[in-house]
């Protein structure tokens, strides 16, 4: 396990933790959160991301347009969105300040709690399952130039994964598995015995021996032909 050393000062003052759960969310490879507000006039499709896989090969990762969580500011007041006191307290704890306090934020994603107590995230008509679990020794910090300010303890982890009910998600999983299998086949092909110096040397001498054997057979055949 690789450890990263961070040279920061951590204040010793005790900060009161919030009663509200603070959790870490991990998104799957088939979903993405748009970092900028959605603007239909200036919208540009998400570009493919280049990355290096575990075999050292450069690959491109493109996103399904239907699996991108988008959000925007709106002036709509048909369904006013009112923050609870705990939500406001959480925003203050993480240092969040809304850019436009008078506007609301709407998104194409929502979290649904089912009657059996399970949760799902819906991105349009795409369904993703949410699995919550407890975590320890995880904390939320506000990073400044020279210190880290402790804000809250992260006590839950949320893992987002494709739902079995989603055929599109299952197709994406199968496609990713096929691509990984293809990459593995390419790596095995590149790492064949042709790159082994000992095997290359042995094959070189084998070719010389075969050539000498053919010459001896040819000489013997010619000798027998002229002496008959």
**Is 33 in the same domain as 140?**
yes
**Is 207 in the same domain as 149?**
no
Please report whether residue 209 resides in a domain. Answer: yes
Listed ranges 21-25, 29-33, 111-115, 150-154; the one with the highest mean pLDDT: 111-115
Burial pattern 155-171, b for ≥16 Cβ within 10 A else e, equals: eeebebbbbeebeebee
Please report whether residue 7 resides in a domain. Answer: no
Number of domains in the chain: 2
Q: Tens digit of pLDDT for each residue in 27-61?
A: 777 778 887 888 877 777 666 667 676 667 777 66
Q: Give the integer Cα–Cα distance in Å for 168 and 162.
A: 9
Q: Coil, helix or strand for 60?
A: strand
**Stated length of the chain:** 228
Q: Give the integer Cα–Cα distance in Å for 29 and 38.
A: 21
78 pLDDT more than 50: no
Q: Which residues constitute the domain of residue 217?
A: 197-226
């Amino acid at each position: 396990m690789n450890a990263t050393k961070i040279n920061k000062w951590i204040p010793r003052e005790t900060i009161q933790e919030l009663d509200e759960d603070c959790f870490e969310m991990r998104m799957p490879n088939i979903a993405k959160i748009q970092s900028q507000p959605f603007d239909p006039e200036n919208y540009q499709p998400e570009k493919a991301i280049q990355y290096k896989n575990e075999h050292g090969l450069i690959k491109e990762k493109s996103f399904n347009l239907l699996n991108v969580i988008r959000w925007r500011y709106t002036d709509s007041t048909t369904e006013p969105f009112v923050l609870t006191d705990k939500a406001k307290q959480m925003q203050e704890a993480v240092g969040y300040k809304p850019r436009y306090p008078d506007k609301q934020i709407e998104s194409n994603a929502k979290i649904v709690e089912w009657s059996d107590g399970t949760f799902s995230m819906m991105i349009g008509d795409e369904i993703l399952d949410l699995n919550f679990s407890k975590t320890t020794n995880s904390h939320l910090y506000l990073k400044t130039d020279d210190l880290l300010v402790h804000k809250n303890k992260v006590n839950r982890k949320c893992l987002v994964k494709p739902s079995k009910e989603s055929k599109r998600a299952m197709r994406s999983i199968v496609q990713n598995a096929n691509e990984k299998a293809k990459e593995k086949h390419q790596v095995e092909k590149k790492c064949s015995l042709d790159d082994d110096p000992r095997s290359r040397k042995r094959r070189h001498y084998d070719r010389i021996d075969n050539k000498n054997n053919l010459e001896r057979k040819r000489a013997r055949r010619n000798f027998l032909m002229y002496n008959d």
